[in-house]
Amino acid sequence: MTDLSRFPITKKWPAAHPERLQLYSLPTPNGVKVAIALEEIGLAYEPHLVSFTTNDQLSPEFLSLNPNNKIPAIIDPDGPGGRPLPLFESGAILIYLADKTGQLLPQDPARRYEAIQWLMFQMGGIGPMFGQVGFFHKFAGKDYEDKRPRDRYIAEARRLLNVLNMHLEGRAWLVGDEYTIADIATWPWVNNLIGFYGARDLVGYDDFPEVDRVLQAFLARPAVQRGLKIPARD
């Protein structure tokens, strides 16, 4: 049987199936990326809920796996060379899973880098900027009298949505007809912006029909529907 006991995180979240990939996450836009990818790939895994309500992400056990105290993180018991691999950062995990299984990244080198390019676009732009819209519209920032910070992030969110909208004309997915990790990274954030954050009207989302077309295609995928709920909240 696979032994993961050298990883302190397994003391707080014991592995019932240590031979499976261990996922430590929460169903947020970043967290569901890896669950969706695993569901799409069909790789066996065991999810563990990292609850922000009880500050699990700040526990010594979680910090032993990800010192940056962010979800998601994984331990793959069957990593390179057959040795367990701990890994954090959602983008890095998505690339790793795609390389491990030969899925969700184009085999053609040029198109592979095109997919990684759009993955980085999500990580460097869409995620941080949409998250700031959420902060200033839904969370504590909404109470600030000065609305200039909010308006700055609204404008940037619209700019990013327009980049997506123009790019998607005539394309099924971000990399043409091929569904990739770039889509898995991007669309949970778009969905969160207009759903959980309630910013549809705020950012003028209906001005971007190509974005919504692809979002709806993404949400219709069975693996996405499952992954959006993993790990299940208490």
- Looking at the chain, the whole-number percentage of residues with pLDDT higher than 90 is 98
- Looking at the chain, the whole-number percentage of residues with pLDDT higher than 70 is 100
Question: Do 200 and 115 lie in a common domain?
Answer: yes
Tell me how far apart the alpha carbons of residues 3 and 158 are, in angstroms, rounded to a whole number: 48
Tell me how far apart the alpha carbons of residues 70 and 26 are, in angstroms, rounded to a whole number: 10
CATH (domain of 60): 3.40.30.10
Whether 9 contacts 65, CB under 8 Å: yes
Predicted pLDDT of residue 2: 86
Q: How many domains does the chain have?
A: 2
Domain boundary residue among 104, 120, 149?
Answer: 104
- H or E element, residue 217: helix 209-219
Question: Do 213 and 156 lie in a common domain?
Answer: yes
Question: Do 128 and 80 lie in a common domain?
Answer: no
Question: Do 89 and 193 lie in a common domain?
Answer: no
pLDDT at 1 over 70: no
Question: Do 85 and 132 lie in a common domain?
Answer: no
Question: Do 201 and 182 lie in a common domain?
Answer: yes
Q: Give me the sign of the Cα torsion angle 195, 40, 45, 24.
A: negative
Question: Do 72 and 134 lie in a common domain?
Answer: no
Whether 190 contacts 121, CB under 8 Å: no
Q: Mean pLDDT, to the nearest integer, of 91-117?
A: 98
Domain span at residue 135?
109-221
With bands split at pLDDT 50, 70 and 90, how would you rate the model's confidence at 55? very high
CATH (domain of 166): 1.20.1050.10
Contacts of range 77-86, beta carbons closer than 8 Å, 24 or more positions apart: 77/2, 77/4, 77/18, 77/19, 77/20, 77/21, 77/22, 78/2, 78/19, 78/21, 84/2, 84/4, 84/7, 86/7
Predicted pLDDT of residue 10: 98
What integer best gives the mean pLDDT of the chain?
Answer: 97
pLDDT in tens, 119-157: 999 999 999 999 999 999 999 999 999 999 999 999 999
pLDDT in tens, 151-195: 999 999 999 999 999 999 999 999 999 999 999 999 999 999 999
Contacts of range 150-158, beta carbons closer than 8 Å, 24 or more positions apart: 153/129, 154/199, 154/202, 154/203, 156/129, 157/129, 157/130, 157/133, 157/193, 157/199, 157/203, 158/203, 158/204, 158/207
pLDDT at 100 over 80: yes
